[in-house]
Amino acid sequence: MINYVDPSGVHGLNVRTVAAGDSADPHMYAAYPSIDDAPRLNEKLLKTVKEQLDRFGRDASRDADLPHREFNIDWQLAAASDQVIGVRLRIGESVGAGWSESRTTVWYDRTDSRVLDSAALLKDRPALEELASIVRDRLAGPRRETSSRTVKADPGLFDSLGFNPRGDLVVEFDDNQVGAASLGRVAVAVPASEAEPLLSATGARAQRAALKTTSEPGSKLWKEFIAEAGTAKPPAASSQTGSVDCAKAKCVALTYDDGPGPDTGRLLDLLGADHARATFFSLGANASARPEPLKRMMREGHLVANHTWSHRDLTALTDNRITDQLNRAQYAITQTIGQVPALLRPPYGATDDRIASIAAGRGLAVVRWSADSRDLRTADPKVIAKRVVAEAKPGAIILMHDVYRPTVDATPEILRRLREKGYTFVTVPELYGSLGMLPGGTYNSGDSTGWNDLGGPKSSGDTQAPLQRPTTP
């Protein structure tokens, strides 16, 4: 196993996102890091992500009638030092025939500002041939379900190389390259003593960087993990809960998915200047990389909630993988804000009774939305603002994305125009007042019993029901 670096300690790191939108088919979501002082690395990662997205889009268009078409890229830091950075991209996709993953690791040598594919960790062609021979021998061992015959001295086959805490060279293969996808991740660890003669100068730097990231059981970090995991924490709530009675005020909940991103801080500035509160459904991976914006959200009266770890369609996952997506995000967010998220927004809004039941077991209410800004489908902030204002009603839960710059640019207009209509901006649970929100309940919009469909107070003759009551599995 590769021991990955905590991204929150890397100065100047942001998370970039490329997504098709929650209502798009097929589902496509990709995240990758950008680092301020490594522009060439950033360009390479963006190029790689776009190439993979384009390829999947072509494949998916040929199989438009197949179910569960989904594409997802998440990332980890294989190493990060003052000399070298390694970014591992995990690329998953499904077009009707089950989920498969590929892996590629891009390296950046800070000493000469070079971006390198993994094969460049080796010093020359003979070194690549020697590595291929070692890997073939190891794959030909007791794991008969793998095939060593497919291993050639091809740089494209050795596109995901890294190091474990012992300094062993780890060679990762894509699903179906040396064995069936049902095997899961297949990797070979070449002992450090055998690997060292094969390494280039960059490879040696990468190996040294990996040796510095050890987090074995018994270390301080591991002990803190165990201690924190057993410490009870209160459920997450806005520090201003109770300051607005949504049975009397015209309330609307602005919600933002997928962050925190590069523009989340600016969004918080805009919301703060207008004294508006919002609910942020944060991805666990992004929260782990950039914890400070989440702490600021809580200080300023917003609410932080769970949007899973890596933005997978939960309805396509097994129960244990759903649980992993929820638990990893719960832990990352809880460790950051000191409170336990009580709300879950499933990616793409995709949910069912099974997901609601698993969420209930973790104390999570499932939140969808009643108004979709469709912000990811346009680069024009005016269009985004117009859609939000047009769809806003008392009790509305409005879907937006804080990782998308045009959405942040649209925020001042959204706030101004909805204020003019008499709206107050609250977090999602405040829409329900004393009714509260039940773990496992599914919520699309808030209670609007005091308001008619035109956004004005009901007269005594109005009999309109609430926009949405919670449903339970």
Q: Is 40 left (phi over 0), alpha (psi -120 to 50) or beta?
A: alpha
> 143: burial class by Cβ within 10 Å (0-12, 13-18, 19+)?
middle
Helix/strand number for the chain, H first, E second? 12, 18
Give the list of residues 6+ apart from residue 321 with CB closer than 8 angstroms, or none: 312
Q: Are 290 and 15 in contact (CB under 8 A)?
A: yes
Residues annotated as part of the active site: 257, 401
- Two tokens, residue 445: 């919009």
Helix, coil or strand: residue 310: coil
**3-state percent breakdown (helix, strand, coil) of the chain, nearest 5:** 35, 25, 40
> What gap in Å lies between CA 81 and CA 89, rounded to an integer?
18
> What gap in Å lies between CA 12 and CA 37, rounded to an integer?
7
CB count in 10 Å sphere of residue 227: 9
DSSP 121: G
Angle at 69 between CA 101 and CA 471, to 5 degrees: 110
Q: Are 458 and 451 in contact (CB under 8 A)?
A: yes
- Two tokens, residue 86: 């390694």
DSSP 99: -
Torsion of CA 15, 21, 25, 29, to 10 degrees: 0
Q: Are 199 and 209 in contact (CB under 8 A)?
A: no
Half-sphere exposure of 137 (CA within 13 A, CB side): 8
Nearest to 283 by CA among 272, 298, 294, 267: 294
Nearest to 147 by CA among 115, 119, 183: 183
